[in-house]
Amino acid sequence: MKISYKDSEMKKMERRDALKMMGLGSAALLAGGTTSVSAKTKLSTFASRKEADIVIVGGGTAGITVTARVRRSAPNARITLIAPNDVHLYQSGQVYVAAGLYREFDNKRQTKELVPDNVTLLQDKVTHFSPETNKVHTGKHGEIPYDYLIVALGCEYDYSWVEGLDVSDIGKKGIASVYLNDVNEGLASGAIISRMWLKTIRRHTQRSEQKVLFADPDGPVKGEGASLDMLFLANDMLKGNGMYKKGKDLRSKAALTLSRPGKDLFPSPEIDRALKKELQKAENITIAYEHRLVRIDKERRIAFYSHEGQTVEKTYDFLHVTPAVKPPDVLKGSGLTVEKGEYEGWLEVDEKTLQNPRYPNVFGIGDIVGLSSGKSGGAIREQAIVIQDNIAAILEGKAVPMTYNGYSVHPIKTRYGRVMLAEYTPQGLEPTFPLDPAKPRWIWWEMDLHLMRTAYFGLMMRGML
Ligand SMILES: Cc1cc2nc3c(=O)[nH]c(=O)nc-3n(C[C@H](O)[C@H](O)[C@H](O)COP(=O)(O)OP(=O)(O)OC[C@H]3O[C@@H](n4cnc5c(N)ncnc54)[C@H](O)[C@@H]3O)c2cc1C
């Protein structure tokens, strides 16, 4: 699909016209966007009236979305959702809680309210997989047999990539992590801690110069871009925006440093270039490329990095840490994982059909899959459409019609009031709207802040986004 960017037109556009376009644009997004997979889905009529036992494990973004979609495409299937969490979290909203724009409470819903009718919800945990006999084993409900299994268990955080840091340190000694949450318990303490952290940085900067470090790990992360959100929002808050609207500009008194293990900031080269350009405007922000945080001395507030074979020390006042991620332990020994290489231990799926190559009646979706695509709610939206249609086709004995194109998205908050809507695939940018996604715009900020959470709970969780 050829996209023609209309920046010059956008500049000329009145705010009222732009708002009208946002309405139309979000309607397009809510209808499924214009990516190839979604466009096909809009035309697709795949559904099967055949009976089957379909088991879905995991009650997060992926589990609930795919349950709603499969409920529609296989109306006579007996569907069981196994999930331990009473409360479901809208995790994308954690950044806005940190920014002082959402209340934590508003990012939560009771899981049972999101589960469609005619789906059996077992509040339980999977303890073991037996794909050779088509069964999952659970803590309280014993063995559950299936004809088709959809695995949506997400990923687990691993803060131990930084020696000297324990998860219990977050919220103490100047350390924060906006990511921190517990999806089993429905808690997002990292969001509230990060809001206090931002406020404390501002307060301390009023008194003396402050050094603020942001550290990203090697390998995949959940919600790629959320650490950039924190970097940009911290800087804008120091400027006197956001929670400190019309406050004094304190940026010259705070040095912000983001360490990245490689030479890039973001997986999409186009977005990476745009972010680097954006950061050139911020004199007090340094990006320490090829610096991997190895260890911290949290009492003396010293960070030790590995850089070109040397150890580099930096003192700090505040530190924001992005957790590394790992596959859930329960996958170990399941026979469903990637055996070697970069994605070893993650759920193995075909990158297009999302089926396990050894057990084609097992599908994977969301943060658990061992693919190069980003771990995001946007990726899940596309993957769920693929599974919805492919399961129905398989039930009908037909070839699978849908393929996933590796789409992911992160709305990068480049300041209060501006979002770069980074939609991409491994092949390049994949914008839903005919506007350059590498340009930060107020329209995407408004959409992300004011529409997306409502669309998430009202439409995506019902399989309609
Ligand atoms: C700070 C932050 C900001 C983000 N921003 C964005 C954004 O702007 N846009 C975007 O698209 N994405 C964003 N994301 C990413 C997005 O939230 C995740 O990719 C998405 O929520 C992952 O969904 P999931 O269902 O795969 O995993 P999870 O949401 O982690 O759900 C996993 C589920 O599995 C259950 N489970 C775990 N173990 C078991 C077991 N043994 N048996 C049964 N169930 C089990 C859990 O209870 C949970 O219900 C962000 C994430 C964070 C943390």
Give yes or no for residue 9 having a pLDDT over 80. no
Distance between Cα 63 and ligand 1 center (Å): 9
- Confidence class of residue 32 from pLDDT cuts 50, 70 and 90? very low
Give me the mean pLDDT over the 25-32 stretch: 42
pLDDT above 90 coverage of the chain, percent: 88
For residue 108, being part of any structural domain is answered with: yes
**Ligand 1 atom at minimal distance to the Cα of residue 381:** 11
Q: Is the pLDDT of residue 411 over 60?
A: yes
Are both 319 and 340 inside the same structural domain? no
Domain of residue 235: give its range: 157-325
**Encoded tokens for 142:** 């014993």
Dist. CA 183 → ligand 1 center (Å): 7
Residue 262 shares a structural domain with residue 380: no
Give the CATH number for residue 334.
Answer: 3.50.50.60
188 and 287 share one domain: yes
186 is a domain residue: yes
Instruction: Give residue 52's pLDDT band: very low, low, confident or very high (50, 70, 90).
Output: very high
Query: Both 181 and 280 in a single domain?
Result: yes
How much is the ipTM here?
0.99
Adjacency order of strands within the sheet including 148-151: 119-122, 78-82, 53-57, 148-151, 362-364
Task: For residue 45, name the pLDDT band (cuts at 50, 70, 90).
Answer: low
Say if residue 148 is in the same domain as residue 184.
no
Same domain for 296 and 180: yes
Residue 332 lies in a domain: yes
Nearest to 91 by CA among 68, 112, 67, 60: 60
Convert the pLDDT of each residue in 311-343 to its tens digit. 999 999 999 999 999 999 999 999 999 999 999
Ligand 1 centre to CA of 60 (Å) is: 5
Number of domains, the chain: 2
Task: Answer yes or no: is pLDDT of 12 > 80.
Answer: no
Residue 202 has pLDDT above 90, yes or no: yes
**pLDDT for residue 37 is more than 50:** no
Ligand 1 atom closest to 82 (CA): 43
| Tokens found for residue 377 | 């709610």
Rounded mean pLDDT, 351-355: 97
Instruction: List the strands of the sheet with 408-415, edge to edge.
Output: 408-415, 418-425, 428-429
Mean pLDDT across 24-29: 43
DSSP string computed for 430-452? --SSSS-TTS-BHHHHHIIIIIH
Residues making up the chain, counted from first to last? 465
Query: Alpha-carbon distance 395 to 393, whole Å?
Result: 5
Please check whether residue 445 lies inside any domain of the structure: no
8 pLDDT exceeds 80?
Answer: no
Residues with CB under 6 A from ligand 1: 57-63, 82-85, 91-92, 94-95, 125-126, 152-154, 178-179, 183-184, 222-223, 226, 328, 330, 366-367, 375-378, 380, 409-411
Q: Which of 395, 429, 449 is the last residue of a domain?
A: 395
Domain boundary among 395, 427, 445: 395
Nearest CA to ligand 1 atom 50: 223
Distance 306 CA to ligand 1 centre (A): 30
Of 141-155, 162-176, 426-440, the one with minimum mean pLDDT is 426-440
Mean pLDDT of 28-42: 41
161, 271: one domain: yes
> What is the DSSP track for 355-418?
B-SS-TTEEE-GGGB-SSS-BSHHHHHHHHHHHHHHHHHHHTT----------EEEEEEEETTE
Please give the number of the atom of ligand 1 that sits closest to the Cα of 378. Answer: 11
With respect to residue 268, please indicate whether it lies within any of the assigned structural domains.
yes
Q: Whose CA is nearest to atom 17 of ligand 1?
A: 91
Domain closes at, from 266, 299, 325? 325
For range 20-25, the mean pLDDT: 44
What pLDDT, on a 0 to 100 scale, did the predictor assign at position 246? 79
Ligand 1 atom closest to Cα of residue 153: 34
Q: What is the pLDDT of residue 46?
A: 75
In the reported structure, the alpha carbon of residue 154 is separated from the centroid of ligand 1 by a whole-number distance in angstroms of 5
pLDDT at residue 265, rounded to an integer: 97
